[in-house]
Amino acid sequence: MTTEISTQRAATGLALQSFDDAMRFASLVSKSDFAPKDFKGKPESCLLAIQHGSEVGLSPMQSLQSIAVINGRPTIWGDAALALVQSSPVCEYVREYMEGEGDNLTAVCEAKRRGYPAPTTVRFSVVDAKRAGLAGKAGPWSQYPARMLALRARGFALRNAFADALRGLITAEEAQDYPTPEPAREPVVVRPKFDAAPQVTPTADEAHMQQRRLAVSKVSDVGKLEQMQATVEERLRSGFYTPAQADDLLGLINGRLDWLTGDNGQEFTHEAAEHEVQA
């Protein structure tokens, strides 16, 4: 026979019977002064907080005051977590006290679950706070260090002893101490100290260049080659050809001319089509 008692308990306050009821209520609250600042004007967030709170036994208004999303995770404020545990029938007692002074100050929380032989005891000291980088941190850790030590010990003890009552929720005070994830950064573009030389975009495409190379290879008349040479130089000056493209074609033309006017001293008279001459 077990001594375990169910942690299910009915939430008090306004009973919302349907999704429409809950949405209307959330919309109303989000426009009122009763909404915490993070829920102001956000009926969807109000609705989800109410739903999450109802799963641990909180009424709608208790949920809005006790549930918070911190660093993207739903949490519960420490006093509300203690209230939930103390109202649970499986809770025999929760005791909190301080030990030591100065750097030896330690917060102790004893959480006794009914039917268990010993309480769950958690200690959180100034040394622990320093190790976690919390001691002296701006905000409550500097203003109320003893209170923050007690809340950290409480959060660990209640979660260890009454995970079923809290259903995975951690205390908001603990979540606030977690590092905030940094947003993804845009890639860094390294620019030269001085403006780089402007890049010249070729006007003539590769298909055109292939046609001109083929045309040069077929011409066997020195006059036509010289005409093609003049055309290339003119198009270089106009910007139609880049220097590299012009050098490519002029090199082919000059090589063809050298071959045609070689040692045999004869010129080939093969006629090229008119469209092949226009380089």
Dump pLDDT digits (tens) for 47-71: 888 888 888 888 888 888 888 888 7
Angstrom CA distances, 34 to 27, 29, 43, 247, stand at 12, 6, 13, 79
Which pLDDT belongs to residue 183?
Answer: 62
For the cut 50, the answer to whether the pLDDT of residue 271 exceeds it is no
Segment 107-156, tens digit of pLDDT: 999 999 999 999 999 999 999 999 989 988 888 889 999 999 999 999 99
Q: Return the structure tokens found at 278.
A: 């226009």
Give the span between the Cα atoms of 85 and 58, in whole angstroms.
12
Instruction: Give the pTM.
Output: 0.57
DSSP letter string over 5-45? -----PPPSPPP-SHHHHHHHHHHHHTSTTS-GGGTT-HHH
Structure confidence at residue 190 (pLDDT): 65
pLDDT of residue 274: 46
Neighbours of 179 (CB within 10 A): 7
pLDDT at position 80: 92
Tell me which of 272 and 100 has the higher pLDDT. Answer: 100
pLDDT value of position 217 = 83
Distance from C-alpha of 46 to C-alpha of 24, rounded to nearest angstrom? 11
The Cα–Cα gap between 111 and 118 comes to 9
> Has residue 158 got a pLDDT over 60?
yes
Confirm if 246 and 232 have CB atoms less than 8 A apart.
yes
First to last CA, the chain: 102
For the segment 196-209, what is each residue's pLDDT rounded down to a tens digit? 555 545 566 788 88
More confident call, 194 vs 15: 15
Residue with tokens 């005891």: 121
Task: Please list, in sequence order, all residues whose beta carbon lies within 8 angstroms of the beta carbon of residue 206, skipping any fewer than 6 positions away.
Answer: none
CA distance 105 to 123: 10
Whether 249 shows a pLDDT value over 70: the answer reads: yes
